[in-house]
Structure 1
Amino acid sequence: MGGTEHLTVHREGATLVLTLNRPEAKNALSLPMLVGLHDGWRAADEDDTVRSVVLTGAGGTFCAGMDLKALAGDGMAGDHYRQRLRDDPDLHWKAMLRHHRPRKPVIAAVEGHCVAGGTEILQGTDIRVAGESAVFGLFEVARGLFPIGGSTVRLPRQIPRTHALEMLLTGRPYPASEAARIGLIGHVVPDGGALAKALEIAERINACGPLAVEAVKASVYETADLSEADGLAAELARGWPVFDTADAKEGARAFAEKRPPVFRRA
């Protein structure tokens, strides 16, 4: 089903689960991991039987960001994957969801550390669940670095600017409870329960009309920076075609017949 030595891929029904799998390094980003992520997002986009994606981490942690030890030396080369990066110099930004937005909903299931590049990838996901001991933060400035994965642009659009600037400028850790309070994540669950909760949410999404789900997600992002008038016009252009689909008719018919709908992406 794809994947690499640092990124595993498996299916849970209609959900594609991508697992950052380098627990001995707190799932710090490596080139094999980035290649695996890139290919996972592409696989989800191209496979119509996939209706949602869950991103999580192995070993009780999500992602501790870029591998700074490797970055300081030659370890980020990833010998087996150098050609992939040469072929597509933008691959790492697509993998981190900076230059790519999957058309299927992406749910993050976070345990443990989700910091630096982990928090940057998180901002490219749509729905976010975390265990109560999870830790978030953008530590780059504390190390003399810049959070170039998109955080200076995305974070102030996703949470209030005062909280975004504090997170960006202090480089301090944020516990899950505070991350939820400021709106960075949506659910806090008991430790070890993030993946189960994410899959529960994914299952509810999977039961909905896939054409409608994808159109709704696209509309939310397409209209985010538009005026209200322009946004409403764009919403009509995106939404009206959904009503002409066979799935829309099936949804209404199933409601009238008091049965679960059977959607066919048509």
Structure 2
Amino acid sequence: MSGTEHLDVRREGATLVLTLDRPQAKNALSLPMLVGLYDGWVAADADDAIRSVVLTGAGGVFCAGMDLKALAGKGMEGEHYRDRLKADPDLHWKAMLRHHRPRKPVIAAVEGPCVAGGTEILQGTDIRVAAESATFGLFEVARGLFPIGGSTVRLQRQIPRTHALEMLLTGRRYTAAEAAAIGLVGRVVPDGSALGTALEIAERVNACGPLAVEAVKASVYETAEMTEADGLAAELQRGWPVFDTADAREGARAFTEKRAPVFRRE
């Protein structure tokens, strides 16, 4: 896929790198960006050669959220994509990972501001790396708005509720260190190295059995709200078939032969 004028797409081995590319507007969400994101998630799921996705932003910025100038009635760039929204009124929510969960692991590489809609998209990713100067926050209430990208539901499930409510109700900015302390991101790295670190993590994911990786990710999410008993039963349904794959046999054989496994999604 070729991306759009506000969403750059490239391959790094088995990793698809999606870059929010509207730095002059702090990568604020636009129609071209949303369409490009949605197409990126679909392309990653459809291509078995892609084993992971890295989401990042251009120009030292992740995403400043919705384009408030457009929201105020000053127009949004990319009106020629309007037919895509008409064809699928849910497209923007799928693009923001509100109504879509890719089966491949998604790793966020955050430099600079990741606020409002940026923090909402972040909650749809699986592994999160932040640069030291990255910032986070849900500013909607401070502007008389509602964080309708899923944050009132997801955030309290991802970090302790007291921290979720403070972020949601104060509209204040959080540092990367604070975000790591409350569990919103997993790693804080030197400025300029978030993407490199995310790609290193992706390479480790890519080296694992793809059928196993996808089954593990699916199990984690589908059992999250189950009782322990129901979750353990569901885990067996996801897990046992993995043992009966050629990839599982290859993994055991490679371990015995002290070599790197060659997985074929079989």
The TM-score range, normalised by the shorter chain, is: over 0.9
Q: Which residue of 2 is the match for residue 136 of structure 1?
A: 136
How big is each residue's C-alpha offset from its partner over 1:190-240, in whole Å with a ceiling of 9 and x where there is no partner?
Answer: 000000000000000000000000000000000000000000000000000
CA contact 2:66–2:116 (8 Å) conserved in 1:
yes
Comparing 74-83 with 255-264, greater Cα deviation is found at: 74-83
Structure 1: which 5+ runs fail to align?
none
Structure 1 residue 74 displacement after superposition: 4.5
SS at match of 1:177: helix
Q: Which residue of 1 is the match for residue 91 of structure 2?
A: 91
Q: Which residue of 2 is the match for residue 123 of structure 1?
A: 123
Q: Equivalent pairs: percent with the same residue?
A: 85
Structure 2: which 5+ runs fail to align?
none
Separation of aligned partners in 1, 2:76 and 2:227: 42
Q: Which residue of 2 is the match for residue 159 of structure 1?
A: 159
Say whether 1:19 aligns with 2:24: no
Q: Which residue of 2 is the match for residue 40 of structure 1?
A: 40
How big is each residue's C-alpha offset from its partner over 1:130-150, in whole Å with a ceiling of 9 and x where there is no partner?
Answer: 100000000000000000000
Separation of aligned partners in 2, 1:57 and 1:251: 35
Alignment map for 1:214-225 (pairs within 5 Å): 214-225=214-225
Structure 1 residue 79 displacement after superposition: 1.6
Separation of aligned partners in 2, 1:87 and 1:113: 32
Q: Which residue of 2 is the match for residue 205 of structure 1?
A: 205
How big is each residue's C-alpha offset from its partner over 1:46-95, in whole Å with a ceiling of 9 and x where there is no partner?
Answer: 00000000000000000000000011115237321010000000000000
Say whether 1:184 aligns with 2:187: no
| RMSD, matched Cα | 0.6
Say whether 1:7 aligns with 2:7: yes
* Deviant stretches of 4+, over 2 Å: none
Say whether 1:100 aligns with 2:100: yes
Q: Which residue of 1 is the match for residue 73 of structure 2?
A: 73
Separation of aligned partners in 1, 2:3 and 2:70: 21
Separation of aligned partners in 2, 1:216 and 1:245: 15
Alignment map for 1:226-265 (pairs within 5 Å): 226-265=226-265
Alignment map for 1:43-54 (pairs within 5 Å): 43-54=43-54
Inter-CA distance 77–61: structure 2 relative to 1 (3 Å threshold): closer
Separation of aligned partners in 1, 2:29 and 2:114: 12
Q: Which residue of 1 is the match for residue 175 of structure 2?
A: 175
- The letter of the residue matching 2:65 is G
SS at match of 2:76: helix
- The letter of the residue matching 1:72 is A
TM-score after normalising by structure 2: 0.99
Separation of aligned partners in 1, 2:91 and 2:39: 9
Separation of aligned partners in 2, 1:257 and 1:78: 54
- The letter of the residue matching 2:225 is D
- The letter of the residue matching 1:222 is E
